[in-house]
Chains A and B, each alone.
Chain A
Amino acid sequence: MPLVVQLRGVAYAYPGGPPVLRDVDLAVEAGEFVAIAGPNGGGKTTLLRVALGLERPTHGAALLFGEPAQHATRRSRIGYLAQRARLGVEAPVTVRELVSAGLVARRGVLARPTAEDRARVEDAIARVDLTAQASRMVSRLSGGQQQRAFVAKALAARPELLVLDEPTAGVDVDAQESLARLLGELHRDLGVTILLVSHEFGAVESLVDRLVLVRGSIVFDGSPGALPPTWHDPSHVHV
């Protein structure tokens, strides 16, 4: 299967700071569902940002769809859900308007929406079970519903790679399980490659093909079933 994400000998340190990542090698094939877990401050989000070309590695190379990540040309194939803290849900935006914003990259900044675009938006909204809330403002939804609205935004352009950074932060257990079921359906029905960063991956453990534990470097990369019992709470990995 073609490689969607590749990291080769990647190291990263924030300007003036200590190394956050050291000698990271990672290859994600098309169609894989990979969970990236680890303790807070372990470098999970940094690894993701380097992989997406949002940060330039200090050493090594990051490739996206076979191209250097910082200059990747096929970015419209990516659906991305940033960490909750970065999202501006206070804007007076409806679910439908938010999800429509996910199509801008795919159809171009000057293009007018077509009937097919509108159908894609409704399809994405239906897939996250928010059809009844499509005309409601995102700010008036529950935390779990807001997360599903942003997932729908990431899905609107029918991405080949779906990247989610701590999608269950600040939402209750029911919402976490609901999101896990949704991701499982997407992976099974659409064959989407999924990269999920979370320090609470219990809900998706049975769904992922592969678990990658990060604590400055990759300390485990394999099937969740092969994870040593003493490491079974990846948010508290001790190496």
Chain B
Amino acid sequence: MFDSEFMRLAFAAGAIVGLLAPAVGFFLVQRRLSLIGDGIGHIAFAGVALGYLIGVSPVLTALIASVAGAVLIEVLRARRPEAADQALALVFYTGIAAGVVLVSSAGALNANLFAFLFGSILTVTGGDLALVAVLGVAGLALIALLYRAFAAVALDEESARVSGVPVGLLNVLLAGLAGVTIAASMRVVGILLIAALMVLPVTAASRIAWSLRSALLLAMAIGVGSVCLGLTLSYYGDLAPGGAIVLVAAAAFALAAAGSAAFARARTG
């Protein structure tokens, strides 16, 4: 499997995404914003379509659109927390509609678009890997630097705000990170599935973790494991890699949930 350069590139890019996506998703899940990745993905789709239309790298336009869309969702949510779901819906449907209109205008309803929607990790180039590596390392470094601050906001946002933690700025930063993650992960699992890689490893880890820190580290381990096992199954089983990766992550959640329930029964029974 690793004799082929395309598989080595796929595993390298996938491993970075497998670490970054759950690390960012961890704080979104704790703040009950699990669906925000889907919304950003829809905006990213519009960004890809815009890139095709104006003849600019779709990855670049998707990155700009993702970050801008993520920040917009956060600004709308902060202004009216009680209508946060409406803000998500506004962005979701506007993004997908804009994408459909732009992509049809560009005449780009073809296999290239399919690759962005569902991933094309097996076509990752050295340049793609370099971009994913830069975005991934920067994202992980920011999370490492601000872990305690992000955790304080996720655990008790209002208390953090009262005591002077710059909650607004941290929330915008996290939203921007989510946008970067979506853009970096498009080639690995695709726009339509990336949210799953941000959420499923986190929910699996939360079932078996014994602390907040262990939950984050386990989520990242499950993310990387899902990518590696998913790619392996895809290679030998001739399966769609993006879908295989997400199904492995879903299986990890099912195993963790079953294991946690069995352990709880054994303890009380």
A residues adjacent to B (C-beta < 8 A) = 52-54, 72-76, 78-82, 86-88, 91-94, 97-98, 100-102, 104-106, 109-110, 113, 135, 137, 150, 153-154, 157, 163
Q: Which of B57-65, B117-125, B147-155 contacts A (4 or more CB under 8 A)?
A: B147-155
A79 partner, pick from B146, B163, B170, B211, beta carbons under 8 A:
B163
Q: In the assembly, what is the distance between CA of A106 and CA of B154, in Å?
A: 17
| Residue B8 lies at the interface, judged by CB distance under 8 Å to chain A | no
Q: In the assembly, what is the distance between CA of A98 and CA of B213, in Å?
A: 11
CB-defined A-B contacts under 8 Å, sample of 25: A54-B162, A80-B162, A82-B158, A88-B156, A92-B205, A92-B206, A93-B151, A94-B210, A94-B211, A97-B213, A100-B148, A104-B152, A105-B152, A105-B163, A109-B146, A109-B149, A109-B166, A109-B170, A110-B146, A113-B148, A135-B211, A137-B211, A150-B156, A153-B159, A154-B159
Name the CB-closest residue of A to B208: A92
B164 partner, pick from A54, A76, A92, beta carbons under 8 A:
A76
B163 partner, pick from A78, A94, A113, beta carbons under 8 A:
A78
Q: In the assembly, what is the distance between CA of A149 and CA of B172, in Å?
A: 29
Extra 13 A-B pairs, beta carbons < 8 Å, given A81-B159, A104-B152: A76-B164, A80-B158, A82-B156, A88-B32, A88-B156, A91-B154, A92-B206, A93-B151, A94-B210, A105-B165, A109-B146, A110-B149, A150-B156
Q: In residues 36-94 of chain B, which contact A (Cβ within 8 Å)?
A: none
Q: In residues 164-212 of chain B, which contact A (Cβ within 8 Å)?
A: 164-166, 170, 205-206, 209-212
Q: In the assembly, what is the distance between CA of A54 and CA of B167, in Å?
A: 12
Distance between A133 CB and nearest chain B CB, rounded to angstroms: 13
Given A82-B159, A98-B155, A137-B210 contact (CB < 8 Å): yes
Q: In the assembly, what is the distance between CA of A154 and CA of B156, in Å?
A: 11
Residue numbers in B under 8 Å from A110 (CB-CB): 145-146, 149
0/1 string, B212-240, CB within 8 A of A gives 1: 11110000000000000000000000000
Q: In the assembly, what is the distance between CA of A53 and CA of B167, in Å?
A: 14
Distance between A81 CB and nearest chain B CB, rounded to angstroms: 7
Given A101-B148, A104-B165, A109-B165, A153-B156 contact (CB < 8 Å): yes
Residue numbers in B under 8 Å from A98 (CB-CB): 155
Residue numbers in A under 8 Å from B209 (CB-CB): 92
Residue numbers in B under 8 Å from A78 (CB-CB): 162-164
Residue numbers in A under 8 Å from B214 (CB-CB): 92
**Nearest 5 pairs between A and B by C-beta?**
A75-B164, A109-B149, A105-B163, A101-B152, A80-B162
Residue numbers in A under 8 Å from B213 (CB-CB): 97
Q: Which of B146, B155, B170, B213 has the most CB of A within 10 A?
A: B155
